[in-house]
Structure 1
Amino acid sequence: MEHFSIIQALCRSAMADPSPAVRKQVERLRDALAKGGEDKQASSLAGILATSQRATEVAPSRIERSKAQFAGETLGPNTPVPVDRETAAALAEIIFPAQIQGRPPLFNPIVTQAVATIVDEWAHFEALSELEIAPAKTCLIYGAPGTGKTRLAQWMAHKLDLPVVLVRLDGLVSSFLGTTARNIGNLFTFANRYRCVLLLDEFDAIAKVRDDPQEVGEIKRVVNALLQNLDSRRDVGFTIGITNHPKLLDPAVWRRFEVQLEIPRPDFAMRKAIATQFMPPIEAPDSHLQLIAWFTEGATGAEIESLVRTYKKAMAVRTTERLDLLNTLRQFATLNAARVQSERRALLFSEPSRLFRAMRDDAELGFSMTDIAEITGKDKSTVSRQLGKAVKAEEES
């Protein structure tokens, strides 16, 4: 098979942390090669599959040893969760590892490496213990809405093979005096009893600055109760806090978290990777993925996923052979005006000559006339005339 060395490298990378679907496709490729008489190449893929299987069989034993360091009972599907005494509403949701997507969220290499370090610390608990140090047990994840913070926290729990006790802190707030602090205490008592990852979402709902003149004495008592319970859990289990508004947090809250991880908005390369991840089963041309990444400057992963859904819908209902990508982008920009950077939106609805010029001259995009023609459905001579028109207009201005 031509370029098999590249295919082999891709398979090896994919099998480093494979989903069942990825493993199945590599097995299909192995079988197809064997059937076609490519025995050497089929054997190579069989070796990659076997190595991955052995790693999968070994990894849980390390995780099991790390899980043993979490004191407490095992959470089960029928374990009752604490409830608010006045409303009887559940104070938490239990999410088990099997319910969490095993595929890691996409971040830039620096964030990805930092997250891997946190997980690896628990996988190598014994080695750290020999040095009389412990893995990080508290982590605050912050960033703009839609950047994948909650998904990241759940994926970390999945890697540790521990259930998540998911708490949205705004749901703990009660109008009854003293009830909110009691809810917090009951919740932490529950989490400390079981082996789990305690995930405190919407963390800023309670952990606000205690000196805020707009807040009454009750919320200050609530923050104090939260701080005390965080301290009591420090040596019990793994706790993750999530917030979209880090500036609202009390400085004392920050000090309770060993890891303070900011999730940035994705850059061009990551936006393209995110669009690629959400695109299947559609196989979009690379130029389309690049334009989607360019168009979503400043967007979050959730917003890119929304645009990809619009693209896939357009592909499903198109009545012509060619998808008009620019019209699809304009449709998205019209229906999601607040989610699109104003500069990109203005270019999209500008004269074709101006848009084509931007597509050609942008350092990240750098489209050729052939690329622009393919995306717009124009011939290269038309694209060339439009580009010339843009240059002339610029000179005249």
Structure 2
Amino acid sequence: MDHFPIIQALCRAAVPNASPAVRKQIERLRDALKNGGDSKQAAALTTILNNAERSREIAPSRIERSKALVSGEDLSRNTPLPVDRETAAPLAEIIFPDATDENAPIFDERISNAIESVVDEWSNIEALFEVGVHPSLTCLIYGAPGTGKTRLALWMARRLDLPVVLVRLDGLVSSFLGTTARNIGNLFTFANRFKCMLLLDEFDAIAKLRDDPQEVGEIKRVVNALLQNLDSRRGVGLTIGITNHPNLLDPAVWRRFEVQLEIPRPEFDVRKAIAESFSAPVIIPDSHLRLIAWFTEGATGAEIETLVRTYKKATAVRDGQARELLDTLRQFATLNAARVHSERRELLFGGTGRLFRALRDDRSVNLSMSDIGEIAGKDKSTVSRQIGKIEEDQEDDSING
């Protein structure tokens, strides 16, 4: 279909708030494309529809604030923050719902369903109380840096229309080691007083193994103080801990969290959806999105965002003309060497024939010879010849070897 990238962008913009009639027309377009042999374009519309459905399943309309969920006073922008007595430095920052992203983070179906189950508990508190149980009020989110853990916690707070008391515990330990236990007590006293979500970022900075011979006695006392305060907060409000290093956590800390959610590095389809979500206002062709998803094997959402930003810069400096994608990927791989999978780097900087063959043979990326040619700025026959040359050379090597 001519101008499909524009049609795809219009569908992507319309579908999040689409009426049933609009959604039906997009489905009709998808089916028409599929029946007409445009399976890749039909698949692109299916992805847009599925992503919108997942977002709607955990949309704000499904959340109803309950006074039984949190207690205390309302936080305002003028509420004084707790501070360290010696330095007067604030021990936390307040993030209000209107300052956070309203769009749900993109995860695979398994993670999205798990998050939905927690949200369902919070939105059906009365039903839980009737059968003698309570919603999960403590949650530990862990995984590699850049996988969206903090963004997820802020998004969950937004769904509940709750301000976040954000505490980055790494700074607390490094700056105030001698008075850390007292500061933790002050933080929890503050959080317990107000209706809020207490978000403990860089959780491993304090919650380290108490039997670690490298740690001084002060840290062991800090961990004990943290455990006591976590216990005292039960039944008062929501508490979320975030860590990049779950192996450093004391086993007693793990037991304090009812939900223990691991956020993995995204798989291919999720990487493609993440790249598309960061693309606006640039319209990125579907074949380019698939190559970006293939290229970012093992990457996190934050790293994919960085690559898409590089793509958009390359487009902008050429007056809206898309730069050859392989050049952009090579530029990114050069400037972000540690972020790129070694196998992908080798293919990218090796002979183009090997790269073309890898793209042709990898079913996950699902690129045709024409797609590969468009991406590389070559015609289909040239791509075919370069792949054939590589295969002939390997056959000769096999015979001579």
Relative to the length of structure 1, the TM-score reads: 0.85
Deviates more, 1:370-379 or 1:299-308: 370-379
Residues 1:112 and 2:77 aligned together: no
RMSD, aligned CA: 2.6
Kept after mapping to 1: 8 A contact 2:59/2:159? no
Q: Indicate the residue corresponding to 1:367 in structure 2.
A: 367
**Cα 1:327/1:228, change in 2 over 3 Å:** same
Native 8 Å contact 2:60 2:159 kept in 1: no
What does residue 14 of structure 1 align with? 16
Query: By how many angstroms is 1:100 displaced?
Result: 1.1
Unaligned runs of 5+ residues in structure 2 are 1-7, 26-56
Identity of aligned residues (%): 69
Residue equivalent to 1:169: 169
Structure 1 position 275 matched with structure 2 position 275: yes
**Distance across 2 between alignment mates of 1:175 and 1:7:** 48
CA contact (8 A) 2:162 2:196 kept: yes
Aligned to 2:395: 395
Gaps in structure 1 of 5+ consecutive residues: 1-5, 16-21, 30-54
CA contact (8 A) 1:67 1:160 kept: no
CA contact (8 A) 1:359 1:367 kept: yes
Q: Secondary structure at 2:136's aligned position in 1?
A: coil
- Is the 2:68–2:125 Cα contact (8 Å) retained in structure 1? no
From the superposition, tell whether residues 84 and 391 of structure 1 become closer, same or farther in structure 2 (CA, over 3 Å).
Answer: same
Aligned-partner SS, 2:64: helix
Q: Name the structure 2 match of 1:342.
A: 342
Matched AA of 1:346: E
Shift of 1:362: 1.1
Cα contact 1:72–1:195 (8 A) shared by 2? yes
Q: C-alpha separation between the residues in 2 aligned to 1:110 and 1:317?
A: 39
CA distance in 1, matches of 2:223, 2:142: 19
After superposition, the C-alpha distances for 1:306-338 in whole angstroms (9 at most, x for unaligned) are 000000001111269552110000000000000
Report if aligned partners of 2:69, 2:122 keep a CA contact under 8 Å in 1: no
Asked if residue 78 in structure 1 is aligned to residue 78 in structure 2, the reply is yes
Instruction: Tell me the residue number matched to 1:198.
Output: 198
Instruction: Pick closer, same or farther for the CA change 1:296–1:186 going to 2, 3 Å.
Output: same
Counterpart mapping for 1:124-135 below 5 A: 124-135=124-135
Partner of 2:284: 284
- Matched letter for residue 120 of structure 2: D
Structure 1 pair 72/173, CA: closer, same or farther in 2 (3 Å)? same
Query: Do the aligned partners of residues 320 and 202 (structure 1) sit closer, same or farther apart at CA in structure 2, a change above 3 Å counting?
Result: closer
Question: Residue 81 of structure 1 aligns to a residue in which SS?
Answer: coil
How does the TM-score come out when normalised to structure 2?
0.84
Counterpart residue number, 2:314: 314
CA pair 156-254 structure 1, distance change in 2 beyond 3 A: same
Give the equivalent residue in structure 2 for 1:46.
Answer: none
1:174 to partner: Cα distance: 5.7
Cα 1:136–1:13 shift into 2, 3 Å:
farther
The alpha-carbon distance between structure 1 residues 255 and 13, as it changes in their structure 2 partners (threshold 3 A), is: farther
Preserved CA contact (<8 Å) 1:166 1:199: yes
**Residue 323, structure 1, aligned to residue 323, structure 2:** yes
Amino acid at match of 1:287: S
Q: Which amino acid aligns with 1:14?
A: P
Give the corresponding residue for 2:64: 63
Give, in angstroms, the shift of residue 374 of structure 1.
0.9
When the two structures are aligned, how many residues end up with a matched partner?
355
C-alpha deviations, 1:102-153, integer Å up to 9, x for none? Answer: 1000000010011111111111111111111111000000000000000000
Partners of 1:374 and 1:251 lie apart in 2 by 53
> Aligned partners of 2:173 and 2:198: how far apart in 1?
18
Q: 2:162 aligns to what SS in structure 1?
A: coil
Rounded to whole Å, the distance in 1 between the matches of 2:79 and 2:10 is 46
Contact 2:100 2:155 in 1 (8 A): yes
Alpha-carbon distance in structure 2 between the residues aligned to 1:309 and 1:175 = 34
Q: Is the 8 A contact 1:168 1:202 kept in 2?
A: yes
> In structure 1, what is the Cα distance between the partners aligned to 2:209 and 2:355?
46
